[in-house]
Amino acid sequence: MDWSQQTVLVTGGTGSFGKKFIEIMLREYQPRKIIVFSRDELKQHEMRMAGFDHPSLRYFIGNVRDADRLRRAMHGVDIVVHAAALKQVPACEYNPMEAIKTNILGSANIIEAALDAGVKKVLALSTDKAVNPINLYGATKLAAEKLFVQSNAYAAGTATRFSCTRYGNVVGSRGSVVPVFLKQRATGRLTITDPRMTRFWLSLEQGVRFVIRCIEQMEGGEVFVPKIPSTKITDLARAIAPEAEMEVIGIRPGEKLHEVLVNEDEARHTVELDDMFVILPSDEQAWFAQSWKPRGKPLPEGFRYASNTNSEWLTVEQIQEMVRPIEEAYEQKK
């Protein structure tokens, strides 16, 4: 795929993912144009002042809730990366309609606008919380996934294709526990919800590079899941503040002990590759993406890709290595 001939639009482009994606795109892929689509003019201004002022970069103020604005923004666009979302679990629990308007109805607007504009590829970012969801954020992301997979049917004879990526916690992203632990470190006491808790873990750069690969390979209808390591919350705490005392405060509303990236039911129509799983549309929905079957191997009956039964775990030293850039940035801000 020749990125230099592509016009790329990133919703939520001023977020932690969006900025890292655009940084790597400008440095390594040089697309014809990148459009930052987001609702906060201050964040766009701050992003520009931070050095994101490339000739191929455009800043477009808009909200994914606004279908007309999305249609205007997608004129002439080849690829859309949909990263905009309300993702703070407690905020989504307290403001459920707001989460639904942005994460579900906003996703529907993305799909409609992309179809109308003739966009070639649309990739949505999802989360492990969309699997067997117990909080509203996870439920909205599950609904968004279903919309994206099913909407390939609407593409009919056109070129537009929709797929999703689904991965775990991103080190240092907004909403991550890492900045919380860094702040608490000075007090000598870290609050953890439950010492048994585990999470899938990857760096922002790993997430971005996975998304780029998925855009290049997607056919439409897939949910791409990377193979990533797990982390114990206690190991994360020790990596950041080895001398600090841990105070157990109990699991918050909508929080799980462990997360799942592929559940047993999805595993039946999932293929495994060396470094990822590809969840295919079920047989009655198999419009595209079937060429993945001979390229991967089927999963055994009852397979479940969960953070507590993962075969790969980060050591405290590996966690420290991943956290170091966030730690350095935090210290500079103090």
Closest CA to 165 of 204, 118, 202, 218: 218
How far apart are the C-alpha atoms of 309 and 120, rounded to whole Å? Answer: 38
What are 46's two structure tokens? 């701050």
Nearest alpha carbon to residue 144 among 127, 167, 160: 127
Q: Which of 30, 98, 92 is nearest to 64 (CA)?
A: 98
| Crossing angle (nearest 10°) for helices 177-185 and 316-333 | 70
Burial-class residue 142 by CB neighbours within 10 Å (0-12, 13-18, 19+).
Answer: buried
334 is catalytic: no
How far apart, in whole angstroms, are the C-alpha atoms of residue 326 and residue 131? 28
- Among the listed residues 44, 165, 43, the one whose alpha carbon sits nearest the alpha carbon of residue 34: 44
Check 129, 227, 232, 256 and give the catalytic one: 129
Tell me how far apart the alpha carbons of residues 126 and 128 are, in angstroms, rounded to a whole number. Answer: 7
Alpha-carbon gap, residue 58 to 47, rounded angstroms:
12
Q: Pairing between strand 161-167 and 223-226?
A: parallel
Active site residues: 129
